Structure 1
Amino acid sequence: MTDSRKYAMHDDARCNFWASTLAEQPTSRPRLAGNVQADVAIVGAGFTGLWTAYYLKRLSPELAIVVLEAERVGHGASGRNGGWVVGNLAGLERHIGDLPLKERRDCCGVVADNVDEIGRVLAREGIAADFNKGGALYAAARYRDQIAIQRDYLHHLHELGHSEEDCHWLDAEQLAEKAHFRDGYGGIYHRQVATLNPAKLVAGLAELVERLGVTIHEHSRATELGRNVVSTHEGSVEAPTVVCATEGYADRFHDFKRHVIPVQSLVIATEPLSDATWQAVGMSERLAFSDASRLINYGHRTADGRIVFGARGNYRLGARPKADQAIGDEAIRMRRDLLVDLLPALEGVRIDYGWGGSLGLSRNFRPHAIFDHTSGLATAGGYAGEGVAASHLFGRTLADLILERDTHLARMPWAFTNASHRQLIKRWEAEPLRWLAAQAITYSYAGEESLMRRGKSAPLLKRVNDYFASIIE
């Protein structure tokens, strides 16, 4: 890597591949200055805040809506993620696991159909975000033990309520027709998964809501969320409804920070690959892919022929979100080596970009859409890394809850009214307990993978991992 490339990796404006694809950086929107009145004040100009604003305006055009953003539109996870649009919800089983099968299937149908609805909205509104519904492979791609892991996950998806049509098993030959992994033993094909360019989506969505009459103020960090008022250093917005849409970037609001913490996710993007390399890799359908590692990895083929690949996030002591975007050479190299381990045809590939951000994880590992009518405070989040699709679904849901619409979405088990987030979401333990637990989980997962790499089982580590999984219930 040349010195200039090393420098670029540590420059926020150049390390994020998605940001580089925008035709031009829009001029900064004005700061909030003075005190203004609105019907709805939204804190956070990412996917959750913007989708909420979009659906509120579409349903009730007369509403005065003001969105406050601490930095620039899409500065947080919405402009930095891996670009997966998943027809599932991380933690969905905690909402629907005890429901009858018919109701579980209905809920799974809602989250699966959400992917297609996003595609329809983007087409209707003319947002060119490279949306591509190619499905996803959850492969047993490196170790034989991964076959059992993926078989168990497929059983879980079906038991949860996902259909055989949407989620089904591919044997080694069928898997090889879609992608050429190092050791493709088989895997799950999930039909209801798409990919897109999140920076193009968040930029296009911001421009769209502004055309609908929403006001966005950038560089207007909210310093306090009070009853019917949001304050910044230079002004305030008074509104009967306030939406906190900060997800993994709620560190300034201690009340929310106790319930949803940031976990870092780090991503790389390769150079554009040659036709010959793509022949060797496969993925002609531009599908998404992951293997059965507990140290989660995820990737897909971009519209311009690169691979974007993320893996193995971490938790920072004190629940500090990642404000900058650059990641170090060692983090880039580790993800590049894992990518090549999965897809050996990429040996020698150049990595052009490396960046990271923070996703939001709730204490009980359940995504949520909450509107407390008494206080006028609404919030959504806890997406656990699957927020590109979930933010659209939960933005729609928040709009229905705020407008008191009796809709199918408003009756979903993840939608709550007449209670606050303090009552509905458990608080995380104090530091350093949660940091120590995160380290123990990471090391136990790494130990399990090391044993699988050597063809050995890990029953003790599996029990440790299952125990740690159970304590976040």
Structure 2
Amino acid sequence: MAGARPTVTDASPDSSHRAGYWLDDLVVRGLDDLRPRAALTSSARFDVCLIGGGLTALWTAYALMRADPTLRIAVLEREFSGFGASGRNGGWCSALFPQSAASIEREHGYEQAVAMRRAMLDTVDEVGRVTAREGIDCDFVKGGSVTFARSDSQRELAVAEVDDARRFGVDALEYWDESTVGARFAATGLDGRAPDAVFDPSCARVHPAKLVRGLARVVEELGVSVFEQTEVVDWSAGRVRFRSLDGSDSEGMVSARHVIVATEGYGASLPRVRRRILPLYSLMIATEPLPDDVWDEIGLAHGTTFSDFRHLLVYGQRTADNRFAFGGRGASYHWGSALDPAFEQVEAVFGRLRAALSELFPAISGARITHRWGGPLGVARDWNATASYNPKTGVGFAGAYVGDGLSTTNLAGRTMADLVRGVQSSLTDLPWVNHRSPLWEPEPLRYLGANLGVLGMRFSDAEERLTGRTSLLARAVGGLTGH
């Protein structure tokens, strides 16, 4: 995937374009040709070696260099920085966390649940502060998120979410009734009424590729060595074995006191990660830019993200150049945690995304889809993310964000920096720190369970649409996903 890519003018089934809108936008605007940085071609010694070139590794490198500029830090990336989920996601810098506050409370107590919520809220603002300070122009606008409740069963979920947030007293969620929503948005319900909605002010719209590529530039300027086209083959305490993919066929070893694994969904292809992470594909579409009068009719301002309370998750935003970028779940898990570019193009899922967006906002039903893309996100067996570090071995692991990683990676990076330096702080005391999820089951149980979960969410939405009542199946599956 080296070098520039052609822009997509027609997202036809024959399109071989993989970058998606975000990375393609950098190329088209002449902001970045995505040419890989030089590979590491000989053995070397560093203080810290970060495996993976996405936001987790880059935020960790940034926090470490800000705390101790004398550190020698290497980032090893197989493709280029931002190739994976960090450059392909929905662009929500939100306070969402994979494990709900209620679930954290059950496991760790009320105060820890509150502390985790406060940390996530601050993280949204921290991303804004850092990008402004470092001159990273990533279209960061904190306009909040609107989650539409489009049926009585969805309204029940919306009311419960607001009530739960009030109990913890941290999130400032607002419940908007149908008259409020109808006055602001041209959004449709499923029952002939305007939707209700929950508004969460703690979310910002972001251009993820601008963020990750800008952060890579910043850490390099701080003195971090970012090696791309460098495939990590294996690691152990103090050592990382690599192979260069620049044509030199070089192999070597990085010696480092601290080794941090930050590969997210792609880690499933590595023997030492394998069953710790399940790669689940999420897919996205982007429309052509829409005229201002259409946006005035829809009512979605710049900086405001949106979703609804269906069980098979969807997410969207208005981009800085006036497109819809809209994505969701629904792609199948593949046997043996397989990863393949072909899994990023699933016609049925793209069709459902287009239909869902047009149904929610009928004003865009004739809009052309210009980009279709996807990629794997990382899911732990108990749906819990972690920032973990073993001071005895010097090996750390951060990830399993289940799609909530654009902001959580920043919290992970700051936390890992404290763990690596042996500093006890409010971050290292958070309940997700050093959490160890159980392993995923071996095949065929993993295959059956993961795909039944996806199908269960789809059937739950169909059940609720048909009956108008909250799905019992959805409640059962929700208990398995950290909620």
TM-score by length of 1: 0.92
* CA 431–469 in structure 1, closer or farther in 2 if over 3 Å, else same: farther
> What's the offset of the Cα at 1:139?
1.1
Once residues 97 and 10 of structure 2 are traced to their aligned partners in structure 1, the CA distance between those partners, rounded to angstroms, is: 40
| 2:240 maps to amino acid | V
Q: Equivalent residue for 1:404? A: 422
1:20 aligns with 2:33: no
1:84-123 superposed Cα distances (whole Å, 9 cap, x missing partner): 0111311143434455544433331111111011100000
* CA 447–207 in structure 1, closer or farther in 2 if over 3 Å, else same: same
Superposition pairs for residues 457-468 of structure 1, below 5 Å?
Answer: 457=469, 462-468=471-477
3-state SS of paired residue (2:79): coil
1:333 aligns with 2:348: no
1:274 aligns with 2:291: yes
Q: Equivalent residue for 1:228? A: 238
Once residues 146 and 192 of structure 1 are traced to their aligned partners in structure 2, the CA distance between those partners, rounded to angstroms, is: 21
| 2:371 maps to amino acid | Y
* CA 215–313 in structure 1, closer or farther in 2 if over 3 Å, else same: farther
Conserved in 2, the CA contact under 8 Å of 1:104 and 1:161?
Answer: no
* CA 54–271 in structure 1, closer or farther in 2 if over 3 Å, else same: same
| 1:369 maps to amino acid | A
Superposition pairs for residues 40-79 of structure 1, below 5 Å?
Answer: 40-79=48-87
Conserved in 1, the CA contact under 8 Å of 2:239 and 2:255?
Answer: yes
1:440 aligns with 2:440: no
Match of 1:186 among 196, 204, 211: 196
| 1:426 maps to amino acid | P
> What's the offset of the Cα at 1:453?
2.4
| 2:321 maps to amino acid | D
1:236-280 superposed Cα distances (whole Å, 9 cap, x missing partner): 211010000001110232232211211100001110001121122
- Count of paired positions: 459
Q: Equivalent residue for 1:123? A: 132
Once residues 160 and 320 of structure 1 are traced to their aligned partners in structure 2, the CA distance between those partners, rounded to angstroms, is: 40
Once residues 285 and 152 of structure 1 are traced to their aligned partners in structure 2, the CA distance between those partners, rounded to angstroms, is: 28
Q: Equivalent residue for 2:465? A: 453
Q: Equivalent residue for 2:173? A: 167
1:294 aligns with 2:300: no
| 2:198 maps to amino acid | I
> What's the offset of the Cα at 1:437?
1.6
> What's the offset of the Cα at 1:136?
0.3
* CA 468–100 in structure 1, closer or farther in 2 if over 3 Å, else same: closer
> What's the offset of the Cα at 1:28?
2.1
TM-score by length of 2: 0.90
1:428 aligns with 2:445: no
> What's the offset of the Cα at 1:198?
0.6
| 1:247 maps to amino acid | E
Match of 2:373 among 341, 355, 360: 355
| 1:248 maps to amino acid | G
1:383-409 superposed Cα distances (whole Å, 9 cap, x missing partner): 111000000011110001101112211
Match of 1:80 among 58, 65, 88: 88
3-state SS of paired residue (1:39): strand
Once residues 346 and 52 of structure 1 are traced to their aligned partners in structure 2, the CA distance between those partners, rounded to angstroms, is: 40
Once residues 254 and 313 of structure 1 are traced to their aligned partners in structure 2, the CA distance between those partners, rounded to angstroms, is: 27
Once residues 373 and 138 of structure 2 are traced to their aligned partners in structure 1, the CA distance between those partners, rounded to angstroms, is: 20
Once residues 317 and 160 of structure 1 are traced to their aligned partners in structure 2, the CA distance between those partners, rounded to angstroms, is: 40
Once residues 178 and 247 of structure 1 are traced to their aligned partners in structure 2, the CA distance between those partners, rounded to angstroms, is: 38
> What's the offset of the Cα at 1:451?
2.8
Match of 1:198 among 186, 201, 208: 208
Superposition pairs for residues 205-244 of structure 1, below 5 Å?
Answer: 205-233=215-243, 234-244=251-261
Conserved in 2, the CA contact under 8 Å of 1:108 and 1:161?
Answer: no
> What's the offset of the Cα at 1:187?
1.5
Conserved in 2, the CA contact under 8 Å of 1:17 and 1:269?
Answer: no
| 2:12 maps to amino acid | K
Conserved in 2, the CA contact under 8 Å of 1:32 and 1:236?
Answer: no
| 1:428 maps to amino acid | W
Structure 1: give runs of 5+ residues left out of the alignment.
none
Once residues 374 and 211 of structure 2 are traced to their aligned partners in structure 1, the CA distance between those partners, rounded to angstroms, is: 18
Once residues 440 and 65 of structure 1 are traced to their aligned partners in structure 2, the CA distance between those partners, rounded to angstroms, is: 42
Once residues 133 and 322 of structure 1 are traced to their aligned partners in structure 2, the CA distance between those partners, rounded to angstroms, is: 35
Once residues 11 and 374 of structure 2 are traced to their aligned partners in structure 1, the CA distance between those partners, rounded to angstroms, is: 17
Conserved in 1, the CA contact under 8 Å of 2:268 and 2:277?
Answer: no
Q: Equivalent residue for 1:380? A: 398
| 2:142 maps to amino acid | K
Q: Equivalent residue for 2:246? A: none
Structure 2: give runs of 5+ residues left out of the alignment.
1-7, 244-250
1:436-457 superposed Cα distances (whole Å, 9 cap, x missing partner): 1222222232222223323443
| 2:207 maps to amino acid | N
3-state SS of paired residue (2:297): helix
> What's the offset of the Cα at 1:205?
0.5
Conserved in 1, the CA contact under 8 Å of 2:22 and 2:87?
Answer: no
Conserved in 2, the CA contact under 8 Å of 1:95 and 1:413?
Answer: yes
Conserved in 2, the CA contact under 8 Å of 1:44 and 1:67?
Answer: yes
1:47-70 superposed Cα distances (whole Å, 9 cap, x missing partner): 000000000011010000011001
Conserved in 1, the CA contact under 8 Å of 2:140 and 2:303?
Answer: no
Once residues 153 and 381 of structure 1 are traced to their aligned partners in structure 2, the CA distance between those partners, rounded to angstroms, is: 25
* CA 390–59 in structure 1, closer or farther in 2 if over 3 Å, else same: same
Match of 1:246 among 263, 278, 284: 263
Match of 1:312 among 296, 316, 329: 329
> C-alpha root-mean-square deviation of aligned residues, in Å?
2.1
| 2:139 maps to amino acid | D
Once residues 162 and 472 of structure 2 are traced to their aligned partners in structure 1, the CA distance between those partners, rounded to angstroms, is: 21
> What's the offset of the Cα at 1:325?
8.2
